[in-house]
Amino acid sequence: MLQGHVFKYGANVDTDAIIPARYLNVSDPYELSRHCMEDIDLDFVNKVKPGDIIVATTNFGCGSSREHAPIAIKASGVSAVVAKSFARIFFRNAINIGLPLLESPEAVDATDAGDELEIDLATGTIKNLTKGKTFKAAPYPEFMSGIIKAGGLIEYTRERLKHH
């Protein structure tokens, strides 16, 4: 079960907004997290707490295919991103590093910045604890759930190799 307060953003939050290109020479996740969202939300890095959740409208993560963007989000402490839709390559990169993404237009429309959400990844249930409303996102297929639970594709592969 994931639980956290919401940071809400609009449409087309691209990878440059998530982690500005001037930091692409940085590979340390902690250092990347210190610059996450800084060009669209200067307060994000100072206010985000472990478990918090990003909610956005459409096409979250569009732009270049850099893995730095989901790494910066995960390293900042964000436990999940809920949006109406995600850019495909961002979606894959996020799953590969173990950052859960959920698509639920209804949850996005009914959620405001600062609301507290509870997410059950196994069922795809999103509860807005602030407003007392419950929404559904499609749960992940078993193999994708395994990647997220393991913390990413590399860890998932290591676990599977140990058991064979």
Note the pLDDT tens digit of each residue in 112-148. Answer: 999 999 999 999 999 999 999 999 998 888 889 999 9
Closest listed residue to residue 29, CA positions, set 65, 61, 77, 62: 77
Closest listed residue to residue 95, CA positions, set 160, 135, 30, 150: 150
Q: Can you say how many angstroms the Cα of residue 76 is from the centroid of all Cα atoms in its chain?
A: 10
Instruction: Please state, in angstroms and rounded to a whole number, the distance separating the CA atoms of residues 38 and 100.
Output: 22
Residue 52 pLDDT > 80 = yes
Mean pLDDT of all residues in the chain?
95
Instruction: Please state, in angstroms and rounded to a whole number, the distance separating the CA atoms of residues 132 and 113.
Output: 15
Buried b (16+ CB within 10 A) or exposed e, 9-42: beeebbbbbbbbeebeebeeeeebbebbbbeebe
The structure tokens 């698509």 sit at 103
Instruction: Please state, in angstroms and rounded to a whole number, the distance separating the CA atoms of residues 113 and 109.
Output: 11
Total count of domains within the chain? 1
User: How do residues 65-86 score in pLDDT, each as one tens digit?
Assistant: 889 999 999 999 999 999 999 9
Instruction: Please state, in angstroms and rounded to a whole number, the distance separating the CA atoms of residues 61 and 92.
Output: 11
The domain of 15 spans 2-162
User: How do residues 25-35 score in pLDDT, each as one tens digit?
Assistant: 998 999 999 99
Quote the pLDDT of residue 91: 95
**Model confidence, pTM:** 0.95
Q: Can you say how many angstroms the Cα of residue 61 is from the centroid of all Cα atoms in its chain?
A: 10
Instruction: Please state, in angstroms and rounded to a whole number, the distance separating the CA atoms of residues 56 and 68.
Output: 19
Kindly report the CATH number assigned to the domain that includes residue 130.
3.20.19.10
